[in-house]
Chains A and B, each alone.
Chain A
Amino acid sequence: MNTGHFNNEHMEERLWEYIDGFSDPDDLPVVKSLIEENQSWREKYNELVEVNQLLHATELEEPSMRFTKNVMEEITRLHIAPAASSYINHRIIWGIGIFFIVLIVGFLVYGLGQIDWSASSDTSMLPVDIKNLDYSALFNNTYINIFMMINVVLGLMLLDKVLMNKRKKHYT
């Protein structure tokens, strides 16, 4: 059995993992045999087991005798708020999302349809003279600004959803 990487430096860490039940299945028999055969590991193990028992035996703090009564008095004046899911209509959210997706796809199809694909790849022969494009006129338009802002918000919402799902998956 190779116990080379089970040096004394990580002894405590390995032993806590063993006690907590978090040991790697491959490490488990190695740690077990070290506890049985190596005196310093055995001594450290016994020491940590005692600390572990003491930690489990520690007592919780108690609030005042009136604690529960105070809470109950407080909640008699309150009502349980409706669940957030009950007032969020997912159909509306999906509807808005689909509307904007259709809008973006429409713009893309229209834009791509306007390109002269038969033109040469030479940039000087572009169907539109980029140098003469008036960007200020494009981005000063209120409707375009609103449209862009809504897309940014939708993009952020999508990112949030993706990250939340990722986090949920991680926990499960």
Chain B
Amino acid sequence: MSTGSTDIEIISRVLNGEQHAYSELVERYKNYVFTLTLRFIKSREDAEEVAQDIFVKVYRSLADFKGTSKFSTWLYTVVYTTSITFLRKKKMEVHSLDDERTFELADSQDSGFRANQVEQKSKVNMVNQAIKLLSPDDAQVITLFYKAEQNLEEIAKILGLETNTVKVRLHRARARLKEKMETHFREEVKDIY
């Protein structure tokens, strides 16, 4: 992710009028932003639209980026707030961490899902599929930690939580991921758990 110019260098070029340089930032982060958005908004079409809006919003407020944190941390904060706002606007259900219904819903989705995924061979793909079965809060914290190269303090900043709360959330998210894998991918996890 750090090949070529640094994020700060690209941002200063954009701020100096090189608008096309922004495409480098979009290319660099589009998969991260799209994946994180998809953790909240299950529809790919909606998630893609929101992800595009996020990049437009970030471009508009690029002058406000002070460089006190990583650009990615700032960007993912916008991802989080925009995704939440989108869900509220659409009046879709936002599942909180302790909402029991989250798991009931996930379980009801699993029954149909499992039938299609039972032939899944790759362990990595299995983990990917299991993450999709998690609640948005759990999936988000796992993605930020493992894929988006954010440490606990940065995740806390993105989600507006205390660092210790993030630590607990990460631990719980992994425990729930394990449950999902054991329940829905029993064959595949035999040699892991």
Contacts and interface: CB of A to CB of B under 8 A. Distances in A.
Interface of A: 12-13, 16, 22, 47, 50-51, 54-64, 67-68, 70-72, 74-76, 78-86, 170-171
Given A12-B175, A61-B38, A78-B56, A22 B167 contact: yes
Nearest to A50: B192
B14 to A, nearest CB: 7
Interface string B160-193: 0011000100010011011000000000000011
B149 to A, nearest CB: 11
Interface in B46-97: 48, 51-52, 55-56, 59-64
A70 B157 CA distance: 29
Interface residues of B, number: 47
Contacts of B27: 68
Interface string B19-48: 110110011001110110010000000001
Contacts of B20: 72
A61 B62 CA distance: 25
Contacts of A85: 64
Given A16-B171, A171-B153, A72 B26 contact: yes
User: Residue among A12, A51, A64, A74 with the most chain B CB within 10 A?
Assistant: A51
Interface of B: 14-15, 19-20, 22-23, 26-27, 30-32, 34-35, 38, 48, 51-52, 55-56, 59-64, 123-124, 127-128, 131, 142, 146-147, 152-153, 156-157, 162-163, 167, 171, 174-175, 177-178, 192-193
A151 B124 CA distance: 59
B183 to A, nearest CB: 15
A74 B147 CA distance: 28
A171 B157 contact: yes
Contacts of B61: 80-81
Given A60-B34, A80-B61, 12 more contacts: A16-B174, A54-B127, A54-B192, A60-B32, A60-B147, A61-B35, A71-B52, A75-B19, A75-B59, A79-B60, A81-B64, A170-B162
A80 B58 CA distance: 9
B55 A51 contact: no
B19 A58 contact: no
Top 5 nearest A-B pairs by Cβ distance? A83-B63, A60-B31, A63-B34, A61-B35, A60-B35
A171 B56 CA distance: 27
B63 A81 contact: yes
